Amino acid sequence: MGPAERRSSVATFALQMGLAMKSTISMVLAAALGALTIPSASSAQPANLPAAPPTQMKLTDAQAAAVADAAQQAWTSMDAAKIDSVYASNIIGFDPVAPPLSTDRGNWTRLQQGFAAMKFNQLSIPDRKIQILDDDTFIVSGIAQFTSKDGPVKAMPMRFTDVYQRQPGGKFLIVNEHVSQVPPAEPAKP
């Protein structure tokens, strides 16, 4: 066999190997794509297989308290942007000075700017309660006593309920807030 015949043989062998590999790759791809198809009702997995592990950790009381503490620190920062940052983009809430239900994010931001202007720099919540509803949602309720040394209002007790929800990315934000002024105590009856 001469050099020209060897080159022709090598070229034919390489072409056959390339076709064989292409065929093998095609079969592997077809098998992989077949595995990705949505199973029909008849091919569904049996119910006794273990469930997939949860993608996030269980929410603890300590974690919920830390989130609530951070929000409450923002409220006394007197920084409107920092205060506004603890609320989700879809916040719905009742503000104590604006009676209608706020469902517009722009309106809520304006309400938080007004709150910041009141310059409350101290906060006391002696009776705060946290209820964990699930790993993505919890509620914080209590009576807050806001005080200010420089603001137009020196003290304001408020009842509040905040619903926190885990957002994409894992951060908890307030999605619903109801704040109302504490009604004055009734005079003691003789």
For 102-152, how does the pLDDT look when each residue is reduced to its tens digit (9 = 90+)?
999 999 999 999 888 888 888 999 999 999 999 999 999 999 999 888 888
Percent of the chain at pLDDT above 90? 49
Residue with tokens 């066999």: 1
Cβ neighbors of 47 (< 8 A, separation 6 or more) are none
Domain limits of the chain?
61-181
Residue 56: pLDDT over 90: no
Residue 172: pLDDT over 90: yes
Local confidence band at 51 (pLDDT 50, 70, 90 cut-offs): very low
Question: What mean pLDDT is reported for the chain?
Answer: 78
Of the listed ranges 3-7, 54-58, 71-75, the least confidently predicted one is 3-7
Q: What confidence score (pLDDT) does residue 19 get?
A: 40
CA dist 169 and 171 (Å) reads: 6
Cβ neighbors of 163 (< 8 A, separation 6 or more) are 137, 138, 139, 174, 175, 176, 177
By the 10 Å C-beta count (0-12 exposed, 13-18 middle, 19+ buried), 87 is classed as: buried
Q: What is the CATH number of domain 61-181?
A: 3.10.450.50
Q: What confidence score (pLDDT) does residue 55 get?
A: 59
The pTM of this model reads 0.67
Residue 34: pLDDT over 80: no
